[in-house]
A and B are shown apart, each in its own frame.
Chain A
């Protein structure tokens, strides 16, 4: 590029010659240069302005086109898409061990109101009170005419109720879809299932959460989408559960008991096949917890798990079994049973101050339920060894059952396991456990001697637990229990063909206020096993404050109350369990003798 000088020498010289100011030439050149620069800039700006114009034209066209597209498309109702709901309401079903439904979900609707959209609040309130008699008209009118913008009226509606609300026809009444938990079997297995309620709630859905029982213990699992809706299979058998509940309900009425509990357990797997606590409730309409009084009087109270009682003489068999395990005795060993037993300042009496002594075989100690006999055995065994044995059976630990209530119901044990405690413990006094603890301990003792862990979930094969007693001891224990039924305190427990064995327990109820025991209030327990020659199932039946008033004076021992009820349960359930009755188990030796 050739630069033009601002002061070209030729022009300057000639201008000087003409006597003009040469600065004018410089200014003129400067001006010209400035003009050129402006022209250049304008040219560039012209292009860029054109670019801007085209850009704006395009942008406006896009906006217009988009408007046209929108105008040409269909309008949708302003309603939130169901997919946008963030609360996952789907909850897995719960089934029994054969896949029959115990808990499932039902689509229903909730009813809510937008009072400011309501046209005739007073008429709506009256109509609603007609449909739902428990609503208060004045309260509704106050809510509908006040400042509230939103209010729930009903969490769940039946289809008939929904139609009735539809027929009111007010735009201020609205329905939100709900998934509700349904227990089609009503009160059956109520305590096992617990119940469900609503957690976080929105208009379009609500979270269903478990509030008790299995529903709460497995809440996370039931709501986990990763399980893909797979049902939770419990160990409960619906048929057995029905039979047991029916029998217990009838037995509770006949025996004038205020409560009853029953646990039927498989001795090998620890599966709870049926578990009933009476009085019970309908999980579809769970009652409110008691706010005053004794929580154990509420129908929500699960006596089979939460009820820790002194379960009485049912524990005697453990003393006998331990004595055999430690080779201190055999079933026919004679034991000192001279009543009463004095230990320090304590005196241990037999029932009704009888005396079975002076000597009894170990089997007869169990058959006659001799407190003195087992007490003497306990002294031989030693307090610490006895405590360790019971501890290994798991009766001092919280129940490892899959119920949310289970860990809360801890057995009550004395802090110092002295020898007098050891003596009373043999007949089940001085410490408290639940019927399910007892069932699990019986199962562990009688299944061949390996520990089982009680469970509410259906199990496949279960590996045997740690050994508690030798198989011979287990067999001998079962035989002793059989003898109790054949010729002992539980003679009413005989069910033809099923070789029932068992041990009764009659315990005075601990006073709720003050020390000591009630004289006329008992907890009666029958812990049974069947068939005794090859133990398969353990049944524990507990009656709370029963009394058999059919005789001259009320009879309150387990043999008269819990045993017949348990026998009826076995009579009903054993065939359902697939056990063949062994009609007239004629001893083979007898036939041989006749031939000879």
Chain B
């Protein structure tokens, strides 16, 4: 009645959603992610035909699949970035519970695809690796717990999150998937560090690691030989690592040319773990440096943006996600250049793999949702020059 008399009540003057999203999103990071995905498709064109030939598919079968999964991943990323941090947290907790249950039931219903580690559920048309989806969910849940710990009278979140970490690491270790287990441990460590781990503890840890390393190096011949072998400049050229190193050398600064690479024919993991070697061989150092720069931009920009964040939960979750993402990329590339011992880890967005692509999209979507610009009370800082 009132509406009829006075006309409709004006809608609360909210901003339109999409322009608001566009104005607050971290456009640099978003562009970097899109570029990485594009590079992934480009390298897929080079690296996956041998695999397709081995498995009897069309030459670009895996590129098509990658494009489909990539589309799904980008959609997931976009939808996730639109959410508020609260919504992200709620959904992430639900997703984490699902992924955790899936992970726990893996030994009973999972399959190992003949690779010796039970990590996948086979769905017929595709396979799902629960640990990929568990990672972002875990980061959010752990960040939530640690942040809650900081509230006055909050729950003992740190201890709880540590217990959760141990359980998950245990579950991953029995698969066995030590790479993911290390990643989970690392994510928790980063969040604990940022939430204010005592400096004394950090120093003690560093000293303990150094001491243990020295004792092991001097005491155990086996360990010492492993380390020496890793440090020694010559590498047996007939191993995967040798082929990868050689491909990087072969590529030089500008590469041997598109489609001219050889390493993809000799490396069974050329489309996943050693895709950076394919990139280095065919496109040279230029593309590799570009890829490194893209990852570095995403990680460092996100961390810098999170520095201004007032909400501890957002700060922790964002930092955890960014660091996990960055470390995964760094480990992958570090293995190829023999900075790190061999460890199967995919290059996010670039390596082939449906699970890792979609999970990566969700994770980066969360990260971008957390790093969106929102009022942080800077005015208060300026006007009242609050004690800092």
Contacts and interface: CB of A to CB of B under 8 A. Distances in A.
Q: Check if A and B associate.
A: yes
Interface of A: 30, 33-46, 48-50, 52-53, 56-57, 59-60, 62-64, 66-68, 70-81, 84
Nearest to A73: B249
Given A52-B190, A70-B248, A42 B304 contact: no
B333 A63 contact: yes
A63 B293 CA distance: 11
B236 A70 contact: no
A62 B338 CA distance: 12
Given A66-B339, A71-B285, A46 B234 contact: no
A84 B285 CA distance: 31
A40 to B, nearest CB: 8
A56 B295 CA distance: 10
A73 B315 CA distance: 42
A73 B333 CA distance: 18
B139 interface: no
B193 interface: yes
A56 B252 contact: no
B323 A56 contact: yes
Nearest to A74: B249
29 contacts: A37-B150, A37-B152, A38-B310, A39-B387, A45-B307, A49-B194, A49-B304, A49-B315, A50-B303, A52-B190, A52-B194, A52-B303, A52-B323, A53-B303, A56-B296, A59-B330, A60-B326, A63-B333, A66-B338, A67-B285, A68-B289, A71-B251, A72-B252, A73-B249, A75-B246, A75-B249, A78-B242, A79-B238, A80-B238
Contacts of A63: 292, 330, 333-334, 337, 339
Contact of A76 (B151, B194, B246, B252): B246
B142 to A, nearest CB: 15
B196 interface: yes
B243 interface: yes
B280 interface: yes
B388 A64 contact: no
Nearest to B151: A34
Nearest to A64: B292
Contacts of B249: 70-71, 73-76
Contact of B246 (A39, A44, A45, A78): A78
Nearest to B288: A67
Interface in B284-335: 284-285, 288-289, 292-293, 295-296, 299-300, 303-304, 306-310, 312, 315, 319, 323, 326, 330, 333-334
Nearest to A60: B296
B253 interface: yes
Interface in B326-375: 326, 330, 333-334, 337-339
A411 B266 CA distance: 63
A80 B289 contact: no
Interface of B: 150-152, 190, 193-196, 234, 236-238, 242-243, 245-246, 248-253, 266, 280, 284-285, 288-289, 292-293, 295-296, 299-300, 303-304, 306-310, 312, 315, 319, 323, 326, 330, 333-334, 337-339, 386-388
Contacts of A72: 252-253
A78 B386 CA distance: 65
A53 B300 contact: yes
Contact of B234 (A33, A42, A81): A81
B339 A62 contact: yes
Given A53-B304, A57-B300, A67 B190 contact: no
Nearest to B295: A60
Given A37-B150, A42-B309, A66-B338, 18 more contacts: A34-B151, A35-B386, A36-B387, A38-B312, A49-B194, A52-B190, A56-B303, A56-B330, A59-B330, A62-B339, A64-B288, A67-B248, A67-B280, A67-B288, A67-B289, A74-B249, A75-B249, A79-B238
A441 to B, nearest CB: 55
B326 A49 contact: no
Contacts of B252: 71-72
A310 to B, nearest CB: 61
A71 B251 CA distance: 6
Contacts of B304: 49, 53
B388 A60 contact: no
B324 to A, nearest CB: 12
Contacts of A35: 386
Contact of A49 (B234, B319, B337): B319
Nearest to B297: A60
Nearest to B247: A75
Nearest to A53: B303
Contacts of B333: 63, 67
Nearest to B333: A63
Contacts of B307: 45-46, 49-50
A64 B151 CA distance: 41
Contact residues of B: prevailing secondary structure: helix
A76 B237 contact: yes
A60 B333 CA distance: 9
A71 B308 CA distance: 39
A87 B1 CA distance: 99
Contact of A45 (B195, B243, B250, B266): B195
A291 to B, nearest CB: 41
B237 A78 contact: yes
A37 B308 CA distance: 15
Which of B195, B246, B249, B312: most chain A CB closer than 10 A? B249
Contacts of A39: 386-388
B388 A43 contact: yes
B206 to A, nearest CB: 13
Nearest to A83: B234
A72 B284 CA distance: 10
Nearest to A80: B238
B248 A41 contact: no
Given A56-B300, A78-B246, A41 B306 contact: no
B236 A80 contact: yes
Of all A-B residue pairs in the complex, the 4 with the closest CB atoms, nearest first, are A75-B249, A78-B237, A60-B296, A71-B285
Contact of A77 (B237, B310, B323): B237
Contacts of B312: 38, 41-42, 45
A45 B194 contact: yes
A78 B243 contact: yes
A316 B276 CA distance: 89
A288 B308 CA distance: 86
Contacts of B387: 36, 39
Given A53-B303, A80-B236, A71 B248 contact: yes
Contacts of A64: 288-289, 292-293
Contact of A60 (B284, B292, B306): B292
Contacts of A71: 248-249, 251-253, 280, 284-285, 288
A41 B333 CA distance: 34
Contacts of B246: 75-76, 78
A44 B150 CA distance: 13
A56 B326 contact: yes
Which of B289, B295, B386: most chain A CB closer than 10 A? B289
A348 B266 CA distance: 85
A49 B236 CA distance: 40
A79 B242 CA distance: 10
Nearest to B332: A63
A75 B243 CA distance: 10
B203 to A, nearest CB: 14
A78 to B, nearest CB: 4
Contacts of B250: 75
A33 B152 CA distance: 10
Contacts of B310: 38, 42
A518 B150 CA distance: 110
Contacts of A42: 309-310, 312, 315
B123 to A, nearest CB: 33
A81 B307 CA distance: 51
Contacts of B292: 60, 63-64, 67
